[in-house]
Chain A
Amino acid sequence: RKEVEQDPGPFNVPEGATVAFNCTYSNSASQSFFWYRQDCRKEPKLLMSVYSSGNEDGRFTAQLNRASQYISLLIRDSKLSDSATYLCVVNGNLKAAGNKLTFGGGTRVLVKP
C-alpha cells in the first residue's frame, strides 16, 4: 500500500459547483498534513495546512479524519482558476531523519463554464 494515495481524477466540475476529494494515508502516527496546488508545468505551491479540528480558508475547507486515516479538501463556488492538480502531503516515515513529508500522486480538477 502506498504511504499516501489520491484519486487521480479528473474531477470535472461545473463553474460555481462544489467539489470534494480525499487523500488516504497509511501511517497512523502521521501528524502533519498539507494540501498543495500545482498548475500545469509549474511548481507545487502550498494551499493550506490541515489541522485536527478542520480549517477553512475562503472557499476551501480541509478536514482530517484520523480514525479512517484520510484528509479531505472541499472547494465551494468553484472558479475556472481552480483548475489544477491538488496534492496532499503527509509526514511519512518516522524512522527516517526528521519525519520526511510524502506527496500523494495528486487529484486533477477541471472547472468548466
Chain B
Amino acid sequence: GAGVSQSPSNKVTEKGKDVELRCDPISGHTALYWYRQSLGQGLEFLIYFQGNSAPDKSGLPSDRFSAERTGGSVSTLTIQRTQQEDSAVYLCASSLGGTQPQHFGDGTRLSIL
C-alpha cells in the first residue's frame, strides 16, 4: 500500500530563498509529524499535527519556519529566507494517533548554497 510520500526528494536553493516541502501521509492517519536530521545527528522534532487540535509547534527553531496541514491530510513545511544552517534532511511521519507508531517518508534533502 501507499506509504508516506514526500516531495521533492532533493532541493538545492540559494541562501535567502523560500522553500516549501510537501508531505502526503498515509490515508486515514490523523497524526502527522515533521522532523529534521542533520548528517550524523539525531532526529530534531519540529511540529506535530493531531486531528483538528492546535498543532504542537514547540520544535520550530525560528519564526522563519511554519507548517500547515490542509483538510487533515497533506502538510506543507515552509522555510522563509533560508540560511545555510537549514541544510538537513526533513522527514515527515504519520500515524493513526498520537500513541501509535509512526511511519516515515523518505525525506527531503535540503541543501542551502
Contacts and interface: CB of A to CB of B under 8 A. Distances in A.
A98 B51 contact: yes
A94 B45 CA distance: 16
Contacts of A98: 31, 48, 50-51, 53, 97-99
Nearest to B30: A98
Interface stretch (B12-20, B60-68, B102-110): B102-110
A32 B58 CA distance: 21
Contacts of B1: none
A43 B99 contact: no
Interface size range of chain B in the complex: 20 to 34
A103 B50 contact: no
B102 to A, nearest CB: 6
Given A44-B104, A106-B42, A97 B91 contact: no
Contacts of A32: 99-100
A102 B107 contact: no
Q: Is the interface of A mostly helix, strand, loop or mixed?
A: loop
15 contacts: A32-B99, A32-B100, A34-B101, A43-B105, A44-B91, A91-B99, A97-B55, A98-B31, A98-B53, A100-B45, A100-B50, A100-B56, A100-B98, A102-B45, A103-B35
Interface of B: 31, 33, 35, 42-43, 45, 48, 50-51, 53-56, 58, 91, 95, 97-107
